[in-house]
Amino acid sequence: MSKITSCRRFACAALVSCSVVMANAWVPALARAEVPSVRKLAMVDMQRVLNETVAGKRARKELESSFQAKQDKVNKKKTKLEADTAKAQKLTGEQLAAAQEQLQKDYMELQSMYMTLQQELAQQESRLLEKMYTNSQTLVVSLAKELGLDLVLIRDQSTVIYSQEGMDITVELVKRYNKAHP
């Protein structure tokens, strides 16, 4: 066996040994990683914040009036389409074919209008919710520091099944939200 082959085997063995030593040193360090203990926690019901704050009520009214205005436009277009459909039933021949073609275009336009309405409302609602959530988050941070809380969770039916009385800080958050964002 040549000296080069022998050196390669030695180097390979040394590399493997070094890797095993490093891996053994690293794995226990991961196993020893500690999660900080949570001493005090609270919950916030964001749905109540949306429903009970002045800003939330105002946002809901804005959404409802925006929806109603857009829905009125859709209803007006739908009523016209229904009236045109009734008129078209009295036609024959080329007039009927032309009327049916126009009705098809109007129907597609109505569908498009309805889809746009839904998208606009969803975007508007998303912007309002995001703003309220951001404002709430800032207030919760200061409230948590004041109360010495380690963790604040959002309470809803799918995330928190049970909690002791007194762990919910929603009422205080609503008061502070109304004061900070009238």
**21 and 91 belong to one structural domain:** no
Spatial distance between the Cα atoms of 142 and 35, rounded to a whole number of angstroms: 24
The set of residues, in sequence order, having a beta carbon less than 8 Å from that of 145 and lying 6+ positions away, is: none
Range of the domain at 24: 1-33
Q: Same domain for 111 and 23?
A: no
Shared domain check, 54 and 9:
no
Q: Do 16 and 50 sit in the same domain of this protein?
A: no
* Closest to 153 measured CA to CA, from 1, 43, 6, 26: 43
Shared-domain flag, residues 20 and 85: no
Residues 51 and 123 in one domain: yes
* In a shared domain, residues 125 and 173: yes
Q: Provide the domain count of the chain.
A: 2
Q: Which runs of E-coded beta strand occur in 14-85?
A: 41-44
List the CATH number of the domain containing 62. 3.30.910.20
Residues 52 and 4 in one domain: no
Same domain, 131 and 142: yes
Judge if 83 and 12 occupy the same domain.
no
Per-residue pLDDT, 15: 46
Q: Are residues 64 and 140 in the same domain?
A: yes
Q: Exposed, middle or buried, 34 (CB in 10 Å: 0-12/13-18/19+)?
A: exposed
Q: What is the mean pLDDT of each run of 10 residues along the chain (182 residues)?
A: 50 46 52 71 91 93 90 92 90 89 93 92 91 94 93 84 83 95 88
- In terms of domains, do 1 and 77 share one? no
